[in-house]
């Protein structure tokens, strides 16, 4: 995993868009974003670590999802556009990368800057409920992830707008990050 501020230059969403300004794991944590690296080995020892995290964080469900141009076929354009539109969820978004790579962009509060998180095989990312974010594949255009959830997965996107700003999960998120001291 490597996190940095997005350069905000328009164009190809699959490009790196690295501003040259890094973001540390501590800074991500202050935004509620959690990260682990768990090497994915053929002996499948990684499954025990995932099980331990799932138990500690009360994740009851999981599935595996793969995205690529070949898999999405005719739905490719609509699919990549949909997940790249800024939105939030009422549940945590938990992804463990089994193969491939991609970007999670999260909105930093209170600056509203995009932080780009480049994830690859072995990265486990928890994006908190209520944070604005988006997802994009990178130039490799392929990722396979394990999705974990506390309850039956809903995966309902609430796109940014005045109504979403009043969503109780958004308001709870803002209260949480406003109570976290900001490192200087």
Binding residues: 87, 89, 93, 133
User: What six digits make up the tokens of 38?
Assistant: 């768990």
- Going by C-beta distance under 8 Å and a sequence separation of 6 or more, which residues neighbour residue 24? 3
Q: What are the angstrom distances between the C-alpha of 148 and each of 29, 53, 80?
A: 19, 10, 21
Which amino acids are annotated as binding site for Fe(2+), given as ranges? 87, 89, 93, 133
What are residue 51's phi and psi, to 5 degrees? -60, -40
Chain centroid to CA 51: how far? 20
Cα separation, 46 vs 42, whole angstroms: 9
Structure tokens belonging to residue 31: 């935004």
Pick out the residues of the known binding site for Ni(2+): 87, 89, 93, 133
Q: Distance between CA atoms of 125 and 36, rounded to whole angstroms? A: 7
């Amino acid at each position: 995993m490597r996190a940095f501020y997005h350069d905000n230059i328009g164009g190809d969403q699959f490009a790196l868009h690295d501003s040259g300004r890094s973001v540390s794991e501590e800074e991500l944590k202050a935004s509620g974003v959690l990260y682990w690296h768990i090497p994915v080995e053929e002996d499948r020892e990684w499954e025990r670590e995932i099980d331990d995290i799932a138990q500690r964080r009360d994740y009851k469900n999981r599935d595996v999802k793969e995205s690529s141009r070949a898999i999405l076929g005719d739905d490719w354009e609509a699919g990549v556009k949909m997940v790249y539109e800024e939105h939030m969820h009422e549940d945590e978004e938990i992804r463990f990368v089994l193969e491939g790579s991609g970007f999670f962009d999260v909105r930093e509060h209170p600056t509203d800057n995009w932080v780009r998180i480049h994830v690859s095989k072995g990265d486990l990312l928890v994006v908190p409920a209520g944070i604005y974010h988006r997802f994009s594949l990178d130039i490799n255009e392929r990722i396979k992830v394990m999705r974990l959830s506390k309850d039956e997965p809903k995966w309902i996107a609430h796109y940014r707008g005045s109504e979403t700003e009043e969503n109780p999960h958004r308001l709870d998120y803002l209260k949480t990050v406003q109570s976290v001291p900001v490192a200087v």
